[in-house]
Chains A and B, each alone.
Chain A
Amino acid sequence: MSAWETVVGLEVHVELSTATKMWCGCPTTFGDAPNTNVCPVCSGQPGALPVPNARAVHDATLLGLALGGTIAPRCRFHRKNYFYPDLAKNYQISQYDVPLVSDGVLEVEVERDGELVLETVRIERLHMEEDTGKSLHLGATGRLHGADRSAIDYNRSGVPLLEIVSRPDVRDPETAQAYLRELQAIVRTLGVSDARMEEGSIRCDANVSVRRPGEPLGTRCEIKNLNSVRSLGRAIAHEAARQIAVLEDGGSIVMETRHWDEDAGVTRTLRRKETVTDYRYFPDPDLVEVTTSPRRVAEVRAELPELPAAARARLVAAGVPRAQAATVLGGGMLALLDAAVAAGAPAPAAANWLAGEVTGWLAAEGVALADAGLTGTHVAELVAMVEEGAVSATQAKQVLAGVLEDRGAAGPRAVAEARGLSQLRDEGELARVVAEVVAANPDAVAAVRDGNDRAIGALVGQVMRATGGSADPRRTNELLRAAIGS
């Protein structure tokens, strides 16, 4: 197995979060009643004409620069001709031989054997195109196969789409996942897209092939229907294994499109089309060339914010562990972290809270960060309270929960006061509880004396319970050890 190399190219589509569609002034909102966001242009009426959205061109240029790409001084739109009911004109306006952006690169961090490795994935092109309408398949399963009829909603038709094509530089599922996550982070940082896979505002297809190292590229299969970053990784692993098995068995790989079946964990071939579609690309005669001068490139480049890679580097340099930095960035909490630091908190402590308890609470309660009401000052205050021993570590978690429950209406000190949470400072009282716990747990005490250090955790836990969480775990640990005499 290890004699084979997996080769993956990724095709990512990003739906832009512009107010209106690519060619017309219809809203791009997700989830509205069917066919309520349409006009003659996006519903393909006879005589309607496209006019490009200036913001979409800007956002495509911005993303292209963020990816280190070269912006074409002149580019044009081409028609990609094929018939499909959700394609209102039966051609998609896209770009062909001269895309807006070429030759970018994305560096991603991948964990391998406990080490963080930097992988480079080259980007071949980024171009502008439009999304199609959505088909509802009516039949037993709600999926295309077995459907008697389909029903089309053109709300999504014409929403601006950017297609980003990587070179086949990816060699393993983890790199692919890191690439997709990094693209999501960049796109969100730029504010050009929500990039939510579950809403379809970012989509990924993978082209997978295998070869013996040093040999030419093998035949690839395109894998579609990847609905999560996790699916992407699983599908690549599965497909590579499938291809290797076929080849080792003496067979050959057929170039085809395969669907990922998440439940079964396999890729499946669809009914294979008899002929490869000839898209008959030609320059769209309804549209004119798009030019981008060096001055314009400089203007747009000046708008680039701090990108995730740079932010990560900055956080790590400030002492934040890499994994926490990734969580903070991925959760859109960078601004919050910077605010906490500005309010006096050390970066590692603030990041620890945000990546840990805050992230956990938001996920459990299903609350979005933007709605939580948590400020940098709150975080800094919480960090300070723990530092000065005003509350124990356990109590601090309760304080945080209190702040979030009230959506930041009251700050940490106020919440602690209202709930009567303060750290047990009475050494005598603590020593008394420690003595009680030691006396009540001879087996654990014996284990600790025997060298089982982990057994002390249970004893600490008992002290914490007995004091209602108000004991300082560190001091508790010290007193226990002293009492046990190990």
Chain B
Amino acid sequence: MSLSEDEVRHVAALARLALDDDEIAALTPQLADILAYAAEVGAVATDDVAPMTHPLGLEDVTRPDVPGERLPADAVLAAAPDRVGDRFGVPRIVEEDA
């Protein structure tokens, strides 16, 4: 199953990774190779096999509805690349959220 540059562009957009044309060109065959290798999993018969997310099979881990330790606003804002008052500044948002 080979991957086209257009598909790579689409994935880069989904992943919010800015890649120029040279990078896309270099990346496409690499990704195609890796995916071709990974696709070997398709050779395994897996009817009636459930996908695994957890080795331990834990269930019902919850926490009680009681307050925990917070971070002071300054502590969390200290790392802000663009602090606007007591908020995190970002440039103009174009898209509506989903």
Contact = CB atoms under 8 A, between A and B. Distances in A.
A, B: real partners: yes
B93 A38 contact: no
Interface stretch (A82-90, A364-372, A400-408, A476-484): A82-90
Interface string B54-98: 100011111111111111110011000000111111111111111
Given A84-B95, A291-B60, 5 more contacts: A55-B64, A74-B59, A147-B93, A152-B87, A273-B96
Nearest to B67: A25
Please classify the interface of chain B as helix (H, G, I), strand (E, B), loop, or mixed, using the class held by over half of its residues: loop
Contacts of B84: 138, 149, 151
Secondary structure of the A side of the interface? loop
Interface string B17-60: 00000000000000000000000000000000001011000111
A58 B94 CA distance: 38
B77 A39 contact: no
A86 B97 contact: yes
B14 interface: yes
Contacts of B54: 285, 288
A274 B69 CA distance: 42
A20 B66 contact: yes
Interface string A379-390: 000000000000
Contacts of B88: 35, 85, 151-152, 154
Contact of A144 (B58, B59, B77, B96): B96
B95 A34 contact: no
Given A35-B73, A151-B84, A27 B67 contact: yes
Interface string A395-419: 0000000000000000000000000
Size category, B interface: 35 or more
Contacts of A26: 67-68, 70
B60 A53 contact: no
Interface string A15-46: 00011100011110000011111111001010
Given A19-B66, A39-B68, A151 B85 contact: yes
19 contacts: A19-B67, A20-B66, A25-B68, A25-B69, A33-B86, A35-B87, A36-B73, A52-B61, A52-B63, A56-B65, A84-B98, A85-B90, A87-B97, A147-B93, A149-B91, A150-B93, A151-B85, A257-B96, A285-B53
B66 A34 contact: no
Nearest to B94: A271
Given A34-B73, A36-B73, A149-B91, A277 B60 contact: no
A37 B91 CA distance: 24
Interface in A96-151: 132, 135-138, 144, 147-151
Contacts of B90: 85, 149-152
Given A20-B65, A36-B70, A83-B16, A289 B93 contact: no
